[in-house]
Amino acid sequence: MIQEHFTEQTAIFFSVTKWVFLSSVIGIIIGTAVTLFLNILEYSESSRSLLPFHYYYTLPFALVLTVWLVKTFAPTAEGHGTEKVISAVHREDAKIDISVIPVKLFATVVSIFSGASVGKEGPGAQIGAGIASALSGLFKFNKHDRKKLVICGISAGFATVFGTPIAGAIFGVEVLIIGVILYDVLLPSFIAGFAAFTTAQLLGIKYTYYDLHFYQDITLDLSLIAKVVLAAIFFGIVSDMVITTVSGTEKFIKHIKLNRYLKAFLGGVVIVVLTLIFGEQYIGLGLDTIGNALTPHILDSAQAENIHWYTFILKTFFTSISLGSGGSGGIITPIFYIGATSGHAFATLVSPEHLVLFSALGFVSVLSATTNTPIASTIMAVELFGIDIAHYAALGAVISFLLSGHRSIFSSQILAMKKSEMLSVKIGEEIENIHTSLEDKEKKKIDDIKDRLHIKREILKNRKRNKKED
């Protein structure tokens, strides 16, 4: 008995030691690589002023270039990067072509420089996962260890981009399978996220945090709780709109019978025209608008006038066209924008004194619902906005997650739970293959109700007919 206990503890000790070392090394490497990507991206954005015309006029040509780069050198770098990493983990045993790293980096920089409405976290996760996969192949890791290391790469990339090491770690282990946390990868993901985040900070990356404690009183209040529940329902609807619009636009553009380069060019032209009509705040990363929604003193200034009730709707269309036309970049930064501005719109109508709170809740709730990551989103709320928001963030994230249904912005996620016992859903399928229907007993109840209503209508008709005859 003692020998068995000693053997177990020794094996666990060596396993923990192994993954502490591996995840630390991979975190440092990814933190360095993603920092390079962020610095190049920042430099490219600051160089826009060198152009003798509006930078977004280059977008049609930039989209053609990114489509050519991806098609020619790394087809798996297409679209928003996190989706491709999830797909590789489930379908390719986490094998990722190393050419994805430079191609994704360059294509994303070109896209964002020219004003495509895409994010930087997807490329960060894809670069991280690509490095992890390459190192796994170099050192001949087995399939199981390669998958764990690639998940660490997702966590490290996410943590480096947003400065949220805990949320980054949880995101990496929560985003793959809906309803399952991969506990065996939890420790290495945490360490990789912290190592990458710390490395980025040491290399000079600065992060923005919004501690709401200093901005407004956020106490437990029954009236406010009711408003948060109502807001969460709204955020669930917004999330469903985002998923439907992004996937629907991509399918629509794909089925247009034109050369792919021509479609990319025309997509860019459409975005340029829309920008001339509605303004520049809907293109690029949109970090200024996110900051305006989350910074109280900005809300009293003229800059806040750029946030309209329809801002989140327009951003959804700009993002859908950018990605559908071949733009390279992530989807989560636009989701943050959509969430924060939809929260601002909700608060303007329902609770003007809590504009910042509901903007912050929208920020994390729409993320939770579109990516099916309620735990990572709640932790992100605490890391970005402070502990005071935790209870409301958890409420908003979980309700919106449930109300978005069995859908996701990442079509390769695997479903491992039903969001309602009334629905019949095939567990273990990828989201893109999911079909929902009512359970037989629930369907029977609804059919019975319909029959009763039909009988009542017939009775009322007969009574009316008899009255007329009398």
Beta strands 414-415; 177-178: pairing state: parallel
CA-atom Rg of the chain in angstroms: 24
Q: How many residues does the chain have?
A: 470
Alpha helices in 218-259 (DSSP H): 222-254
Q: Please determine, for residue 302, whether its predicted confidence score (pLDDT) is greater than 50.
A: no
Q: Please, which pLDDT band fits residue 300 given cuts at 50, 70 and 90?
A: very low
Choose among 114, 109, 116, 118: nearest CA to 42: 109
Q: At what angle do helices 121-138 and 2-46 cross, to 10 degrees?
A: 130
Angle at 55 between CA 287 and CA 245, to 5 degrees: 55
Encode pLDDT of 197-232 as tens digits.
999 999 999 998 887 765 556 677 888 999 999 999
53 against 7, higher pLDDT: 53
Alpha helices in 307-417 (DSSP H): 311-324, 332-350, 355-371, 374-385, 390-403
Hey, which CATH number is domain 212-404, 1.10.760.10, 1.10.3080.10, 3.40.50.2300, 1.10.1660.10?
A: 1.10.3080.10
- Cα distances from 367 to residues 42, 179, 351, in angstroms, run 24, 16, 22
Hey, which CATH number is domain 2-202, 3.40.50.1980, 3.20.20.20, 1.10.3080.10, 3.40.430.10?
A: 1.10.3080.10
What is the token pair recorded at 91?
């379908």
Delimit the domains of the chain by residue range: 2-202, 212-404, 439-469
Alpha-carbon torsion 47, 49, 53, 54, what sign? positive
Q: What are phi and psi of 92, to 5 degrees?
A: -120, 20
261 against 216, higher pLDDT: 261
Choose among 245, 211, 427, 423: nearest CA to 324: 245
What is the SS3 assignment for 414? strand
Element (H, E) at 29: helix 2-46
What is the SS3 assignment for 424? strand
79-85-91-96 Cα dihedral, nearest 10 degrees? 100
What is the token pair recorded at 211?
């501690």
Predicted local confidence at residue 301, as pLDDT = 47
DSSP state of 309: T
Choose among 332, 321, 260, 262: nearest CA to 75: 260
Q: Please determine, for residue 296, whether its predicted confidence score (pLDDT) is greater than 70.
A: no
Q: Please, which pLDDT band fits residue 9 given cuts at 50, 70 and 90?
A: confident
Choose among 176, 172, 100, 162: nearest CA to 131: 100
- Residue 313 CB coordination number (10 Å): 18
Choose among 331, 401, 396: nearest CA to 357: 396
Average pLDDT score over residue span 436-454: 60
DSSP state of 330: B
Q: Please determine, for residue 428, whether its predicted confidence score (pLDDT) is greater than 90.
A: no
Q: Please, which pLDDT band fits residue 5 given cuts at 50, 70 and 90?
A: confident
What is the token pair recorded at 336?
């943050």
Encode pLDDT of 379-396 as tens digits.
999 999 988 889 999 999
Give 159-217 as a DSSP string: HHHHT-HHHHHHHHHHSSEET---GGGHHHHHHHHHHHHHHHHHTT-------GGGTS-
Q: Please determine, for residue 143, whether its predicted confidence score (pLDDT) is greater than 60.
A: yes
379-374-323-58 Cα dihedral, nearest 10 degrees? -20
Q: Which residues contact 425 (CB under 8 A, 6 or more apart)?
A: 406, 415, 418, 434, 435, 436
What is the token pair recorded at 25?
């090394």
Q: Which of 35-49, 85-99, 141-155, 395-409 has the lowest mean pLDDT?
A: 85-99
Q: Please determine, for residue 448, whether its predicted confidence score (pLDDT) is greater than 50.
A: yes
Amino acid, single-letter form, for residue 109: V
Q: What is the mean pLDDT of the chain?
A: 88
Q: Which residues contact 302 (CB under 8 A, 6 or more apart)?
A: none
217 against 73, higher pLDDT: 73
Predicted local confidence at residue 363, as pLDDT = 97
Choose among 313, 345, 319, 314: nearest CA to 334: 319
Average pLDDT score over residue span 449-464: 62
Choose among 153, 116, 42, 122: nearest CA to 323: 116
Q: What percent of the chain has pLDDT over 90?
A: 62
Whole-angstrom Cα distance, residue 330 to residue 37? 13
* Residue pair 210/298 in contact by the 8 Å Cβ criterion: no
Same fold, 2-202 and 212-404: yes
Predicted local confidence at residue 320, as pLDDT = 96
Q: Which of 52-56, 128-132, 395-399, 456-460 has the lowest mean pLDDT?
A: 456-460
